[in-house]
Amino acid sequence: MLKWAAQTDPIVQSIFQDSTSNATYLSHDIQNEIIHIMSSQIREDIAFMLTNCNYALMADECRDISDRQQLSIVIRFVRGVNDRKIDALSVVKECFLGSVALDEFDAETLANKIVDFLKSLNISLDSCIC
């Protein structure tokens, strides 16, 4: 994954060139930390795109392979509609934000998990239209 990133990102490429030959960044802890950092950056970018945009929220619960119940959270929005300039770039965007572990499955718990998750990403609930 890092080798691919080095092909497209000059900063990552310089890190590889400047690092010693025994620094491979292949341990699972390092890889997981890199994935976490990348996903956080993507979520921040999505939250920024939602500035002044209304969005629709979709949530679905399912069991993962380890038999744990999870709630997947996805948003759908159109960029540029609130700016009154609809063009070829104003297409419907759908973004997966993440999964939330569930211990209880009642409506109040699901609603609270969704609200807490969106607040942690600084996504306003006032812009949610459905």
Q: What is the pLDDT of residues 9-53, one digit of tens each?
A: 787 777 777 776 666 667 888 888 888 888 888 999 888 888 888
CA 70 to CA 23: how far, in whole Å? 36
What confidence score (pLDDT) does residue 85 get?
61
Domain count, the chain: 1
- CA-to-CA separations, 97 to 16, 67, 73, 91, 122, in angstroms, rounded: 30, 21, 6, 18, 12
What confidence score (pLDDT) does residue 76 get?
93
Would 102 be classed as within a structural domain? Answer: yes
Would 72 be classed as within a structural domain? Answer: yes
Would 10 be classed as within a structural domain? Answer: no
Tell me the sheet residues that pair with 101: 70
DSSP classification of residue 128: B
Domain that residue 114 falls in: 26-127
Would 3 be classed as within a structural domain? Answer: no
Would 20 be classed as within a structural domain? Answer: no
Q: What is the pLDDT of residues 72-110, one digit of tens each?
A: 999 999 876 555 566 666 678 899 999 999 988 889 999
Would 4 be classed as within a structural domain? Answer: no
Would 19 be classed as within a structural domain? Answer: no
Would 35 be classed as within a structural domain? Answer: yes
**Whether 31 contacts 25, CB under 8 Å:** yes
